Amino acid sequence: MAEALFDKYGGFKFVSRLVLSFYDKVLDSDQVGDYFDDVDMPRLIDHQTKFVSSLLGGPVSYTDERLKRAHASLNLTSADFDEVQRLLRDTLAEHGIAPQDIDIVMVEIEARRGSILADAAS
């Protein structure tokens, strides 16, 4: 496998900035922000750090089973998923990730749609 995006863009030093701005965007979003209303900060940061690291091929594997468990009670819709996907795409673009690499990440996250949405058909 080619070098992981995680390493290509400078490891945790880079990913930490990515995660914080993604975190801000998600919280500020009117579509999905409310889901995070009662989630305490350290938990959310932990989740996003691991999730983003894992999407970029960093030193963690976030299993689909864990994703499923983390989102199961939320009853998310496709619109929610699309919104988060869009926010992630924006974040990556803002941080200078090359378009072809963004596509790779988008494929990765799309592959997890079924695990994140309770009912993938909705």
Partner 1 sequence: MSIAAINEQLLRAIGVGIAVVRRKDLRFLFTNEPFTEWFGKPEPRSSLPDLLHDIDMDDVKSEMERNDRYTGELQVKRKRRTLIIALSISCASADAQDFYVVECQNITRIRELESMIDSYSAMVERNTRELEREKERVERLLLNLMPRSVYEEFKTFGVVTPQLYESVSVVMLDFVDFTRFAAAHDPTVTLGELNDIFTAFDRIAEQFGCERIKTIGDAYLAVAGMPEPSPDHIRAVANCAVRFIRYLDRRNQSHQYKWEARIGLGTGSAVGSVVGIQKYVYDVFGSAVNLAARLQAFAKPMCIVAPDEMKEFLVDEFHLVDLGKQDIRSFGELRLMRVSPGIELARKSRQY
14 contact partners, CB below 8 Å, separation of at least 6: 95
CB of 45 to partner 1, least distance (A): 4
CB of 54 to partner 1, least distance (A): 9
Q: SS3 letters for the chain?
A: CCCCHHHHCCCHHHHHHHHHHHHHHHHHCCCCHHHHCCCCHHHHHHHHHHHHHHHCCCCCCCCHHHHHHHHHHHCCCHHHHHHHHHHHHHHHHHCCCCHHHHHHHHHHHHCCHHHHCCCCCC
Site string for partner 1, 9-48 (x = CB under 8 A): ---x---x--xx--x---xx----xx-xx--xxx--xx--
Site string for partner 1, 46-75 (x = CB under 8 A): x--xx--x----xxx---------------
Is 50 or 113 the residue whose CB approaches partner 1 more closely?
50
Is 22 or 81 the residue whose CB approaches partner 1 more closely?
22
Note the residues at the interface with partner 1 (CB under 8 A): 12, 16, 19-20, 23, 27-28, 33-34, 36-37, 40-42, 45-46, 49-50, 53, 58-60
